[in-house]
Amino acid sequence: MKKKSFFSRFYVVLCLAFFYLPILVTMIFSFNSSKSLTRMTGVSLRWYSELINNVEVARAVYVSLSIAILATVISTVLGTITAIGLSSHRKIVKDIVLNVNNIPILNPEIVTAIGLMLLFSSAGFRKGYLTMLLAHIAFCTPYVITSVYPKVRSLDPNLANAAMDLGATPFEALTKVIVPMIKEGVFAGALLAFTMSFDDFVISYFVTGNGVKNISIVVYNMTKRINPTINALSTIVIVVIIVVLVSVNVFLPKLEKRTDHIHPRVRRGVTIFLVAALCLGLIRCGSISSQNHVLKVYNAGEYIDLSLLDKFQEEYNCTVVYETFESNEMMYTKLASGESYDVLIPSDYMIERLIKEDYLQPLDWDLIPNASGLMEEVMDKSYDPGNKYSCPYFWGSVGILYDRNIVDQADLSEGWELLKDPKYKGDLYMYDSERDSFMIALKALGYSMNTVNEDEIREAYEWLVEQRDTMDPIYAGDDIMDNMISGNKAIAVVYSGDASYTISENPDMDYFTPNQGTNIWYDAMVMTRDCSETDLAHAFINFMIDPESAIANTEEIGYTSTVKSAYDAMLDGTYAEISSYLVDDSDPRNEIFGYQDPKIKQKYAELWTKVKAQ
């Protein structure tokens, strides 16, 4: 018995460690003095200080709390009334309603999110606070019904009639008899609704707009680059949860005994005050600024110096509604669904697609005088000949980041074949990107990375499979940077801007582009066909390529500027090692990604899935 008890306790401890060790690690690294998410270099409150000064996070916290509270209250009322109403209906009605109620619960969130996005777009709703609130109410209510209905079923069906026979009105029978007897189910449903709403990301991401973001969206955007502020925010949320749990279980019972004598009017006054404060904040947070001009900008996450937006708003007396996307494809999905923006910052191949599908309007270069400072090397590219529609923003290449203390310099002559050198087996990160991975294989084989030849694509697939089986690579995303800074692997495939940041943090690292050729990518600012603030949009584009703005932006982000003065300044700065390397796209081996036919894109996607699945 003692042995059995010992193992039972051991399993309990093991389970608790499995659940809470990641949380403990997050809390510890929130006090790390450096940006590393894997290596503790010292104790500091640096990230808490940055968090406190981060206005975007503060607004996101309020959005999350207010949305969660309102969605919880409304969905709890709707769900409770529905559950009570179902109890008096025929069995066939109950079965139909309950089965319909289960659909949103069982349905994948992404399907619900896209459905709600299309609904709001087709109905002409302006996406923002209201659409997010309605969406949260819609997906929280089924959970409340599921929690409350079993409690209602356990009641005597004649209970309400008995109360009314004794003189109660229908409303009194509901509020003073039925609801108190099912309050455990109501509280459980409310708690579940609050948790689901506060924690939601997928649905919120698709239905929001006009710069309204909750915590999940802000944190997700932060993960695009190393940002330990996430750890500080997570730690604060964890501490708040612990305080609430302790208060509910320890202090609240004692407080209830002491406040029993408080007059009901005082309680109602406190409740009204809290509701009024919430509504006031809701109005402030949910409304767009009262400025005469509003510019909607859509950019990739963590891809701008946010202080520049404040500076632009102050200079032009306007409001910039700034939103971020995960990928070019995600940006295209929201644009195609009817979401309206003024300025987009997509990549080369997506710009080509947007031009083909008539989503963009030409730029008036007379309104962008700072264009004279752009580098000649970034102009007049295949995705937009003559730069009729696009103004270059950042540019760079895809190459190999390596540890100079581990990788033999002579092996660099292998180019992309270095990624198949058995000497470095198990010491390699591959970027988890379908197009970039096939680009590597195609270039290693001497083919164009934009090939549509199925035999060449199949050969590239076999190259990737052989590499996977030989090298045991890890397919990863932006977390590659932190792992390479910590020296966890010797070789990684990265974008040049990520390499520049990594090298600035770990001087043992270096970067090169293989001689077989590589992808040269360009991100650019474009103006949508439906842009309602064309003059302000041109002013924004001109502002971002102003020499002062450009150097501030490239120092913050780490990518190579398209502005000549900013580029030259980087040669003597932190990122000199990488900024000084200019990839020549006149060499036919160096290419820009072109627009992919949907059938070819599907072919690549299917083969990439097979590479990672086996």
| Phi, psi for residue 427 in degrees, rounded to 5 | -120, 35
Structure confidence at residue 584 as a pLDDT band (50, 70, 90): low
pLDDT in tens, 276-318: 655 655 555 444 444 468 899 999 877 899 889 989 999 999 9
Structure confidence at residue 177 as a pLDDT band (50, 70, 90): confident
Residue 447 has pLDDT above 50, yes or no: yes
581 found inside a domain: no
pLDDT at 290: 44
- The larger pLDDT score, comparing residue 22 to residue 351, is at 351
- The larger pLDDT score, comparing residue 278 to residue 478, is at 478
State which of 285, 315, 346 marks the end of a domain: 285
- The larger pLDDT score, comparing residue 231 to residue 76, is at 76
What average pLDDT does range 76-85 have in this prediction?
89
| Same domain, yes or no: 420 and 312 | no
| Same domain, yes or no: 205 and 301 | no
Contacts of 329 by beta carbon, 8 Å cutoff, 6+ apart: 350
pLDDT at 418: 94
pLDDT in tens, 138-165: 999 999 999 988 888 887 777 777 877 7
- Count other C-beta atoms under 10 Å from residue 79's C-beta: 28
pLDDT at 157: 73
| Same domain, yes or no: 451 and 349 | no
Residue 337 has pLDDT above 80, yes or no: no
588 found inside a domain: no
CA 396 – CA 184 distance, rounded (Å): 58
| Same domain, yes or no: 162 and 83 | yes
Structure confidence at residue 121 as a pLDDT band (50, 70, 90): confident
pLDDT at 386: 94
pLDDT at 93: 81
222 found inside a domain: yes
Q: For the chain, give the mean pLDDT.
A: 84
| Same domain, yes or no: 210 and 73 | yes
In the structure encoding, which two tokens stand for residue 104, read together?
Answer: 């949103």
| Same domain, yes or no: 135 and 229 | yes
Residue 484 has pLDDT above 60, yes or no: yes
CATH code at 153?
Answer: 1.10.3720.10
Q: How many domains does the chain have?
A: 4
| Same domain, yes or no: 21 and 71 | no
Residue 251 has pLDDT above 50, yes or no: yes
pLDDT at 300: 86
pLDDT at 152: 83
260 found inside a domain: no
| Same domain, yes or no: 388 and 413 | no
pLDDT at 31: 87
In the structure encoding, which two tokens stand for residue 98, read together?
Answer: 């309950």
How deeply is 3 buried, as exposed, middle or buried, from its count of CB atoms within 10 A (0-12, 13-18, 19+)? exposed
545 found inside a domain: yes
197 found inside a domain: yes
**Contact of 524 with 380, CB cutoff 8 Å:** no
| Same domain, yes or no: 63 and 203 | yes
**Contact of 205 with 113, CB cutoff 8 Å:** yes
| Same domain, yes or no: 357 and 378 | yes
DSSP state at residue 563: B
pLDDT in tens, 493-536: 998 888 888 888 888 999 999 989 999 999 999 999 989 899 99
pLDDT at 150: 86
pLDDT at 288: 45
CA 432 – CA 429 distance, rounded (Å): 9
CA 270 – CA 264 distance, rounded (Å): 10
- The larger pLDDT score, comparing residue 95 to residue 288, is at 95
- Count other C-beta atoms under 10 Å from residue 606's C-beta: 11
| Same domain, yes or no: 347 and 403 | no
| Same domain, yes or no: 334 and 345 | yes
CA 425 – CA 188 distance, rounded (Å): 52
CA 560 – CA 496 distance, rounded (Å): 8
70 found inside a domain: yes
259 found inside a domain: no
Domain residue limits at 505: 396-520+594-613
Share of the chain above pLDDT 90, in %: 35
Share of the chain above pLDDT 70, in %: 88
Structure confidence at residue 563 as a pLDDT band (50, 70, 90): very high
pLDDT in tens, 382-432: 999 999 999 999 998 999 999 999 999 999 999 999 999 999 999 999 988
pLDDT at 393: 95
pLDDT in tens, 198-211: 888 889 988 887 77
CATH code at 464?
Answer: 3.40.190.10
Going 8 to 9 to 13 to 16, the CA torsion angle's sign is positive
State whether residue 403 is helix, strand or coil: strand
pLDDT at 256: 57
Q: What is the CA radius of gyration of the chain?
A: 28
Closest CA to 523 of 325, 372, 390, 428: 390
